[in-house]
């Protein structure tokens, strides 16, 4: 009976290892895409609420969200590293090892979630250390404190999401996210437009906290369910030395790359504020939000792709990985090209939507956003490369790419445009375009070379040996 249950649970794994790649890519990636789009939409909703209800400054949200993203890189990197290892073992059909690793990942996540809360008592000096504008500190510290509490919860949520992705079970995430969106939008609307006085942006953060708490509770229920192939139990929580070191080895480069990249964004916001004023940061944030519609879709295929690559790597399906590289390339290039054209044509309309009563602000948004439109196709090719590197656990390469994107391409371009060319606020858009173009091209070229040379590389020759996939399920 247990073998039958496990066989059904691993049916998605069999599809990833043997099914039609065009269909499998959509099967794994589309639920992630819809999940990410839902999160994107309630991010836009917050921006709309701030503007229409006049309950705060959008620039404060942009600045503090960048700082929040910087802190969140540790939990996100941990989930990425652990997800890679679990997915690989799952693809190898080493189910007991995958479950032990999942429990190890959850144990580490509990510690990281607790450590995240330490950013609450040191909030003001921490923000001053990052040269945050004093008006933001004065007006939005409540928002910051609630966001840190959210980060503690989302560390566990990210672990749940990573484990579901490692099984290719992304539809469940999409369904759960409907509950998150409903709670978030309902509470934000109630707080902003209901019978309340002195509403601030902190109330919007509280709405997000309630929504993420729903996912937190649901995630724990699913993680501890007896029928879960990668079930978490208190008895099996562990800090297995081999698993812990491997997870940290995979996660550390991801953390360093993402942390420095996020820190660089905070630095750019600080420079933009000092040179062009706080309004420029708001326009830059709105531009990023507008482009986020497509980048979220692109990143969904990157996430789904890394799961497909990782499971097939674990199952030694080298030829299938090579084929997937080109399948994913077709999907992402098509999506990025169509999206780029649509965004470029509609850029003025979108700017009016975000800043309906300020023509000057609209112009600023459009002039920055037009550069972001041009780099979307390079974000697409970058995702093709990153899905390969994450799938193979090549996180040092992804770290190097993140660091290059910021320190070799973005910050130098921005400083040259500001202090040498003497460009106006469009320098922020130009810096985004140059860094994304160069990094995307570099990531794709490196991945293409890796895929072409892989059959001749001694380490990966076994991936191309003739064999039949073993789908015998391990019974526990």
pTM of the predicted model as reported, rounded to 2 decimal places: 0.79
- Give me the numbers of helices (H) and strands (E) for the chain, helices first please: 17, 0
pLDDT at 397 over 90: yes
Residue 470 backbone phi and psi in degrees, to 5: -90, 115
Q: Are 374 and 289 in contact (CB under 8 A)?
A: no
Long-range contacts of 218-223 (CB under 8 A, 24+ apart): 218/176, 218/179, 219/156, 219/157, 219/160, 219/161, 219/176, 220/156, 220/160, 222/160, 222/164, 222/172, 223/106, 223/160, 223/163
pLDDT at 39 over 70: no
The pLDDT of residue 30:
83
The pLDDT of residue 382:
94
Looking at every residue in the chain, the average pLDDT score rounds to 84
With CA atoms as reference, report the closest residue to 308 among 12, 64, 7, 95: 12
Which tens digit of pLDDT belongs to each residue from 151-199?
999 999 989 988 988 887 777 877 888 888 889 889 988 888 888 777 7
Percent of the chain with pLDDT over 90: 31
With CA atoms as reference, report the closest residue to 34 among 222, 283, 300: 300
C-alpha–C-alpha distance, residues 1 and 472, integer Å: 15
Which tens digit of pLDDT belongs to each residue from 403-412?
898 889 988 9
What burial letters (b/e) apply to 349-367, b meaning 16+ CB within 10 Å?
ebbebbbeeeeebbebbbb
At 16, the pLDDT band (50, 70, 90 cuts) reads confident
pLDDT at 7 over 60: no
Length of the chain equals 476
Q: Are 387 and 301 in contact (CB under 8 A)?
A: yes
At 472, the pLDDT band (50, 70, 90 cuts) reads very low
pLDDT at 213 over 60: yes
Please say whether the dihedral angle defined by the alpha carbons of residues 222, 249, 112 and 182, taken in this order, is positive or negative: negative
Give the Cβ contact number of residue 315 at 10 Å. 24
The pLDDT of residue 110:
95
The pLDDT of residue 57:
67
């Amino acid at each position: 009976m247990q073998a039958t249950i496990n066989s059904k649970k691993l049916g998605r794994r069999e599809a990833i290892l043997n099914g039609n790649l065009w269909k499998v890519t959509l099967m794994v990636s589309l639920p992630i895409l819809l999940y990410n789009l839902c999160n994107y939409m309630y991010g836009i909703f917050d921006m709309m609420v701030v503007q229409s209800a006049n309950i705060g400054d959008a620039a404060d949200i942009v600045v503090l969200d960048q700082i929040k993203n910087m802190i969140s890189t540790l939990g996100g990197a941990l989930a990425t590293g652990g997800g890679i290892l679990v997915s690989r073992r799952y693809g190898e059909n080493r189910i007991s090892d995958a479950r032990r690793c999942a429990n190890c990942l959850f144990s580490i996540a509990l510690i990281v979630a607790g450590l995240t809360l330490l950013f609450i008592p040191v909030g003001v000096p921490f923000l001053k250390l990052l040269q945050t504008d004093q008006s933001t500190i004065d007006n939005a510290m409540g928002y910051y404190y609630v966001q840190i509490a959210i980060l503690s919860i989302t560390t566990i949520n990210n672990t749940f999401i990573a484990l579901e992705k490692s099984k290719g079970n992304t539809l469940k995430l999409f369904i759960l996210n409907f509950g998150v969106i409903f709670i978030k939008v309902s509470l934000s609307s109630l707080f902003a437009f209901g019978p309340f006085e002195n509403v601030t942006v902190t109330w919007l953060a509280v709405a997000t906290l309630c929504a993420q708490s729903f996912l937190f509770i649901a995630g724990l229920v699913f993680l501890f369910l007896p029928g879960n192939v990668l079930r978490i139990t208190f008895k099996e929580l562990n800090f297995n030395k081999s698993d812990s070191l491997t997870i940290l080895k995979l996660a550390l480069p991801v953390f360093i790359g993402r942390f420095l990249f996020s820190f660089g964004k905070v630095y750019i916001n600080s420079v933009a504020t000092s040179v062009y004023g706080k309004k420029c940061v708001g326009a830059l944030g709105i531009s990023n939000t507008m482009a986020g519609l497509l980048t979220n879709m692109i990143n969904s295929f990157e996430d789904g792709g890394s799961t497909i690559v990782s499971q097939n790597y674990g199952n030694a399906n080298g030829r299938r990985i090579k084929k997937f590289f080109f399948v994913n390339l077709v999907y992402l290039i098509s999506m990025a090209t169509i999206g780029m054209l649509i965004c470029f044509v509609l850029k003025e309309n979108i700017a009016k939507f975000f800043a309906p009563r300020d023509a000057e602000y609209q112009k600023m948004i459009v002039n920055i956003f037009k550069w972001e439109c041009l780099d979307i196709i390079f974000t697409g090719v970058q995702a093709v490369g990153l899905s390969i590197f994450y799938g193979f656990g090549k996180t040092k390469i992804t770290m190097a790419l993140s660091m290059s994107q910021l320190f070799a391409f973005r910050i130098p371009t921005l400083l040259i445009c500001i202090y040498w060319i003497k460009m106006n606020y469009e320098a922020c858009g130009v810096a985004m375009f140059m860094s994304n173009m160069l990094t995307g091209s570099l990531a794709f070229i490196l991945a293409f070379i890796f895929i072409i040379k892989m059959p001749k590389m001694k380490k990966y020759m076994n991936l191309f040996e003739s064999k039949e996939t073993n789908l015998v399920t391990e019974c526990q």
